Copies of this chain bind each other. A is one copy, B any other.
């Protein structure tokens, strides 16, 4: 098996806020990430796909297909405010961990070929990222 990985960037705003919590709890738990209007990041999404390269093309999967999937997953997030514009994150706190899982689910649904989705990695910045293997 050979693994192919690809990265794509997108820019979004978010805030950490849990409506179950009091304002004090939100502040204490989420610190600076709990501000009313949010802040944002240049996110980077990385996916790793595994498979046997086709003996004729030498490819695990055609990169054009990978890029279509990545675009389809990140376009609705790009230049949006996750808490306001993405229904899923109206209920769920858009942490790096939850966003990685959300992207994994999006990629998984769109990958129709026989390739295996091994890992989704989501960078909030170069010093912080989250991995999900399904």
Contact = CB atoms under 8 A, between A and B. Distances in A.
Interface of A: 1-9, 11-14, 16, 18, 20-21, 29-33, 35-42, 48, 53, 56-60, 62-64, 78-81, 83-85, 92-98, 100-101, 125-133
Contacts of A84: 36-37
Contacts of A29: 57, 62
Number of copies: 6
A131 B13 contact: no
B39 A2 contact: no
A14 B41 CA distance: 11
A5 B129 CA distance: 5
Contacts of A7: 126-128
A21 B48 CA distance: 28
